[in-house]
Chains A and B, each alone.
Chain A
Amino acid sequence: MVQRKKLAQVGLLIAAVLMICFGVWRGEADTVFSKAIRLCMECVGIG
């Protein structure tokens, strides 16, 4: 049980780092940035 949980934790952490790197590589961070620096019309209730 302890070993399985440890494996899951390590596996998820590695997967997370790989996913972040892959996301940055394919330009997702730029999409996030361009959305985050402008007024989000939907968020504030303009539509």
Chain B
Amino acid sequence: MDKKKLSPLVRFRGWIQASSALLTNIHLPNFLDGTLYQGAGKYVCVPGLNCYSCPGAAGACPIGSFQAVVGASKFKFSYYITGILILLGVLLGRLICGFLCPFGWFQELLHKIPSPKFSTKRLKPLRYLKYAVLLIMVILLPVFAVNSLGMGDPFFCKYLCPQGVLEGAIPLSLTNAGIRAALGKLFTWKAGILLAVILGSVVFYRPFCKWLCPLGAFYAILNKVSLFQMCVDTGKCISCGACAKSCKMDVDITKAPNHTECIRCGMCMKSCPTDAISYQFGFGDKSSLRTKEKGV
């Protein structure tokens, strides 16, 4: 049997995800003393969804930072964070979700737990929820729902983001009695969301990424113009449908190689019997460039 020639990115994706999660939270000793890293790395955003209140966090969370800036009384928009997100999104698109986001990796690990697995194909309309979360909870509410000082809450972080509980509240409360004592109803609400995401991730593939993540929504918008692209060789493709069947993000790559939901995980490449799908990086449209003659 022929061995498939897979991109190293696909072969080592799990290791890349693990390394990225580690690098994003590299200050491991802080977990033991329950402190936060306070160095210059926190001026810059990490590419994935990673709470800056995680003791190990090496950088700032892009979604939290955006809300912090627009919720501050002196700014109504964050050029800095939007610029960083556009830069990352145009360079890599949702490869960030598939390879670099610690919370995406966390959900994937949970999905490996043996259990009945359910398809999300019939739940496709829920995908649009994440755009509403981005628009309402990340952009509009922190800007317009302000207090007497003109400051807005980070609504997404406060009411929806499960990362803050997973990476912040849980490790910090284990080492800090003061934080443990201060946790109340809001924590219970957010812990409930985390629990729902954990249970959901066991039976569905990446439910938070698909339906709720505002960072994924931002990168999804830029997926069509990202330099990192999926390429389908129309000459090699035999339209067997194996790629669409294997895609856990419910994308048919032959119809839309740079679909907003494609996280570039490479499952389609693994399943393709003719090696018709590949990664491409560069300017311009590279989604179906190669056209070898069929059956020659």
Chain A neighbourhood of B83, CB < 8 A: 15-23
- Let me know if B80 and A29 touch, CB within 8 A: yes
Residues on A lying within 8 angstroms of B by beta carbon are 1-3, 5-6, 8-10, 12-13, 15-24, 26-29, 31-33, 35-40, 42-47
- Let me know if B65 and A43 touch, CB within 8 A: no
Chain B neighbourhood of A13, CB < 8 A: 86-87, 90-91
Interface of B is mostly: helix
Minimum distance in angstroms from A11 CB to a CB of chain B: 9
Residues on B lying within 8 angstroms of A by beta carbon are 36-38, 40, 42-43, 45, 51-53, 57, 59-61, 64-65, 68-69, 72, 74-75, 78-84, 86-87, 90-91, 153-154, 157-158, 161, 163-165, 168-169, 172-173, 179, 182-184, 186-191, 222, 225, 227, 283-285
- Let me know if A35 and B75 touch, CB within 8 A: no
Q: A12-B225, A46-B179 in contact; A40/B186 too (CB < 8 A)?
A: no
Chain A neighbourhood of B78, CB < 8 A: 23, 28
- Let me know if B79 and A31 touch, CB within 8 A: no
- Let me know if A20 and B84 touch, CB within 8 A: yes
Q: A23-B79, A28-B79, A36-B42 in contact; A42/B285 too (CB < 8 A)?
A: no
Chain A neighbourhood of B60, CB < 8 A: 32-33, 35-36
Minimum distance in angstroms from A21 CB to a CB of chain B: 8
- Let me know if A19 and B82 touch, CB within 8 A: yes
- Expressed in whole angstroms, the Cα–Cα distance for A12 and B225 within the complex equals 9
- Let me know if A32 and B80 touch, CB within 8 A: yes
- Let me know if B68 and A31 touch, CB within 8 A: yes
- Expressed in whole angstroms, the Cα–Cα distance for A36 and B285 within the complex equals 38
Chain A neighbourhood of B163, CB < 8 A: 43
- Not counting A12-B90, A36-B60, a sample of 6 additional A-B residue pairs whose C-beta atoms are within 8 angstroms of each other reads A16-B84, A20-B79, A20-B83, A22-B83, A42-B157, A45-B169
A45: nearest residue on chain B (CB-CB)? B187
Minimum distance in angstroms from A25 CB to a CB of chain B: 9
Q: A28-B78, A28-B80 in contact; A45/B183 too (CB < 8 A)?
A: yes
- Let me know if B154 and A43 touch, CB within 8 A: yes
Q: A9-B227, A38-B36, A40-B53 in contact; A3/B90 too (CB < 8 A)?
A: no
- Let me know if B182 and A46 touch, CB within 8 A: yes
- Expressed in whole angstroms, the Cα–Cα distance for A27 and B83 within the complex equals 14
Chain A neighbourhood of B64, CB < 8 A: 35-36, 40, 43
- Expressed in whole angstroms, the Cα–Cα distance for A37 and B227 within the complex equals 33
- Expressed in whole angstroms, the Cα–Cα distance for A12 and B88 within the complex equals 11
Minimum distance in angstroms from A45 CB to a CB of chain B: 3
- Let me know if B283 and A22 touch, CB within 8 A: no
